[in-house]
């Protein structure tokens, strides 16, 4: 698939870009948010939530693995998961096949249970405030 790049110059920039990106999403889309620690994956997720009309505060799901925003958005952080089987056992994979949008941080940890046809957004840190967002 052809990829495009957006250069973000602030967290606010990323939120606004992600808000627009959300309008390209369809029910049931699964999006892998790739990038290292502090890249801006959770900031991006906040923008997507705003774009989907979700008012709740978006918090990092690091300790919960996944936060469910009313069935509209499922935000995953798989950093502490070590296998797809573990995600499966925790019942985390069921939502991949529902009508909500799934955003997944550290999806590489559960690579073997990801559904087909996912989208990817890759965020790379350029400098303290700048990020390269490939989507």
Ligand X SMILES: Nc1ncnc2c1ncn2[C@@H]1O[C@H](COP(=O)(O)OP(=O)(O)O)[C@@H](O)[C@H]1O
Contact string (CB under 5 A) for Mg ion, positions 12-51, x = contact: -----------------------------xx---------
How far, in Å, are 31, 56, 116, 126, 130 from residue 28 at the CA level?
A: 10, 20, 12, 31, 30
31, 32, 42, 58: residue in contact with ligand X (rule CB under 6 A): 42
Which residue from 115, 118, 109, 58 is spatially nearest to 87, judged by alpha carbons?
109
Q: Which stretch, 18-26, 40-48, 51-59, 81-89, contacts ligand X (CB under 6 A)?
A: 40-48
Give CA–CA dist 82/80, Å, rounded.
6
Give the footprint of ligand X on residues 56-95 (CB under 6 A). Answer: 60
34, 40, 87, 109: residue in contact with ligand X (rule CB under 6 A): 40
């Amino acid at each position: 698939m052809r990829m495009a790049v957006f250069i973000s110059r602030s967290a606010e920039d990323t939120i606004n870009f992600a808000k627009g990106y959300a309008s390209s999403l369809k029910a049931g889309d699964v999006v892998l948010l790739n990038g290292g620690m502090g890249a801006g994956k959770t900031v991006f997720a906040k923008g997507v939530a705003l774009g989907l009309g979700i008012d709740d505060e978006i918090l990092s799901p690091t300790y919960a693995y996944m936060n469910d925003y009313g069935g509209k958005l499922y935000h995953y952080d798989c950093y502490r998961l070590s296998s797809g089987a573990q995600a499966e056992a925790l019942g985390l994979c069921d939502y991949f096949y529902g009508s909500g949008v799934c955003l997944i941080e550290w999806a590489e940890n559960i690579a073997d249970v990801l559904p087909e046809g996912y989208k990817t957004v890759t965020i790379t840190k350029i400098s303290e405030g700048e990020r390269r967002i490939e989507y």
